[in-house]
């Protein structure tokens, strides 16, 4: 038997690294104090959440940061803070995950889906054609792929469209040196377990806009305790919005903030480690017959925490065969072309709460996308093995076609 065909991968695609010891010790201290709520602090101490917000704002190079319960809550709060109302239309990616259209639906708004390119980024020609249909774009940097942000911003500025960036997969990534999440009016991030920092659930909202942050802080459930925030506007800014902004509690607590602070300090090194793993898989799959890699532009400094490739224009049974053959050898691939949602791989036409028109050009690309997590618990040797297995199985199915 071919040696490559006998390789089996035994690693776990859902096993993350342990929380740093410093974070564990800080979390234990919080539990011993009993003061988990972000506003339950002793005397003049700022508390773990306020310190984390201050540190994250500094790391992203922005004025303001709010720590919240999830990335989805951050996006919903961002939409409300920009004044999106029930019935409003919001532009967003056709290639994304369900929390993005879910955030739009949560405020009663209606998504206007914009197509996807073979680079797995938002189709800027389609955005140009649809930009007059809404005043807000909830832009998903899906699976860490960043579009030409200069052209996107030019289109949106010309059409008066305000941009919210969903950076669940691009925390620490850059476009032409600019950190992801800092080009739009608002940047939203996730600290769910499979993201670039891990608190189980959690998220951030960042902005340089005083009014937006004041509304976001009150929306998050600050009551009248906003003076306790360190990375927020002066209390006077809140006076203009505090009576007409609802309190929709979604705060982060001190326990999660305590385990995130040491992770933030090592974020840059972690991002580099992910991209090293991505490059090993990429090298192992280059020039594989029938398989198309996603070219990463020079302007993009990406974080390779997951890997995608295209089996473009393959018949669905052949794609399913690749997925099954890889699974039999321990490699978990998610397919975005299935007719029914599976796990997290739902499609724009699966979300019946978000009506959509047919998008044949995007459907062709979605039908060929295969996706794989790359946790940092995988070694570089593991990543080379993953590439060998995928290459062997894709080649076998392609040759049989």
325-340 mean pLDDT? 94
Please report, rounded to a whole number, the percentage of residues in the chain having pLDDT higher than 90: 93
- Per-position DSSP letters for 333-383, written without gaps between them: -EETT-SS--TT---GGG-TTS-----HHHHHHHTTEEEEE--TTS-HHHH
Distances in Å between the Cα of 387 and the Cα atoms of 8, 95, 248, 318 are 12, 24, 45, 19
Does residue 254 surpass a pLDDT of 50?
yes
- 397, pLDDT greater than 80: yes
pTM of the model: 0.96
Mean pLDDT, rounded, for 232-240: 95
Q: What is the pLDDT of residue 3?
A: 46
Give tens-digit pLDDT for 21-37.
999 999 999 999 999 99
CB 50 within 8 A of CB 222: no
Q: How many CB atoms lie within 10 A of CB 56?
A: 25
Number of Cβ within 10 Å of residue 306's Cβ equals 18
**Residue 4 pLDDT grade (very low, low, confident, very high; cuts 50, 70, 90):** low
Residue 2: per-residue pLDDT: 44
- Please tell me the CATH code under which domain 21-265 is placed: 3.40.640.10
* Domain parsing of the chain, residue ranges: 21-265, 267-400
Average pLDDT of the chain? 96
Query: pLDDT band at 57, cuts 50/70/90?
Result: very high
Flag whether pLDDT at 354 surpasses 80.
Answer: yes
Q: Are 113 and 198 in contact (CB under 8 A)?
A: no
- In this prediction, residue 343 carries a pLDDT of 83
| Pair 148, 127: CB distance under 8 Å | no
Nearest Cα neighbor of 75 from 156, 163, 145, 166 is: 166
Q: Is a pLDDT exceeding 90 seen at residue 159?
A: yes
The mean pLDDT of 297-308, rounded to a whole number, is 98
Q: Is the pLDDT of residue 401 over 70?
A: no
Helix (H) or strand (E) holding 197, with range, is none
Domain 267-400 is in which class? alpha beta
Cα–Cα distance for residue pair 178/60, rounded to 1 Å: 9
The encoded tokens of residue 176 equal 């032409």
How many residues are present in the chain? 401
- Answer yes or no: are the C-beta atoms of 152 and 132 closer than 8 Å: no
**Mean pLDDT across 151-172:** 98
pLDDT at 345: 86
Phi, then psi, of 139 in degrees rounded to 5: -90, 120
Q: What is the pLDDT of residue 234?
A: 95
Q: What is the pLDDT of residue 131?
A: 98
pLDDT at 50: 98
Would 21-265 and 267-400 be classified into the same CATH topology? Answer: no
């Amino acid at each position: 038997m071919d040696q490559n065909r006998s390789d089996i991968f035994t690693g776990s695609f859902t096993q993350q690294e342990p929380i740093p010891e410093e974070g564990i010790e800080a979390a234990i201290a919080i539990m011993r104090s009993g003061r988990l709520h972000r506003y339950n602090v002793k005397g003049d101490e700022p508390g773990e959440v306020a310190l984390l917000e201050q540190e994250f704002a500094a790391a992203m190079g922005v004025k303001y940061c709010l720590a919240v319960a999830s990335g989805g809550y951050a996006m919903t709060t961002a939409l409300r803070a920009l004044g999106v109302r029930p019935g409003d239309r919001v532009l967003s990616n056709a290639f994304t995950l369900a929390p993005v259209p879910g955030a739009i639906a949560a405020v009663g708004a209606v998504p206007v889906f914009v197509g996807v390119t073979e680079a797995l980024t938002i189709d800027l020609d389609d955005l140009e054609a649809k930009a007059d249909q809404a005043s807000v774009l909830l832009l998903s940097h899906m699976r860490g792929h960043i579009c030409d942000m200069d052209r996107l911003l030019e289109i949106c500025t010309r059409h008066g469209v305000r941009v919210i960036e969903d950076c669940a997969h691009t925390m620490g990534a850059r476009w032409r040196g600019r950190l992801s999440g800092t080009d739009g009016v608002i940047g939203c991030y996730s600290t769910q377990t499979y993201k670039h920092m891990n608190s189980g659930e959690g998220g951030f909202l960042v902005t340089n806009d005083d009014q937006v942050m004041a509304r976001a802080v009150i929306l998050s459930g600050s009551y009248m305790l906003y003076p306790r925030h360190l990375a927020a506007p002066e209390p006077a800014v809140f006076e203009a919005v505090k009576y007409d902004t609802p309190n929709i509690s979604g705060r982060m607590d001190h326990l999660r903030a305590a385990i995130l602070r040491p992770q933030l300090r090592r974020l840059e090194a972690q991002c580099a480690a992910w991209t090293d793993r991505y490059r090993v898989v990429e090298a192992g799959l280059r020039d594989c017959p029938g398989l198309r890699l996603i070219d990463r532009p020079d302007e993009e400094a990406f974080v390779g925490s997951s890997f995608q490739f295209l089996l473009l224009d393959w018949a669905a049974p052949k794609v399913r065969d690749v997925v099954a053959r890889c699974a039999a050898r321990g490699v978990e691939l998610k397919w975005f072309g299935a007719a029914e949602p599976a796990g997290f791989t739902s499609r724009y036409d699966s979300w019946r709460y978000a009506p959509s028109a047919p998008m044949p050009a995007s459907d062709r690309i979605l039908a060929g996308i295969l996706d794989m997590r790359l946790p940092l618990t995988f070694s570089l040797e593991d990543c080379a093995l993953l590439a060998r297995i995928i290459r062997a199985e894709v080649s076998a199915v392609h040759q049989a076609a």
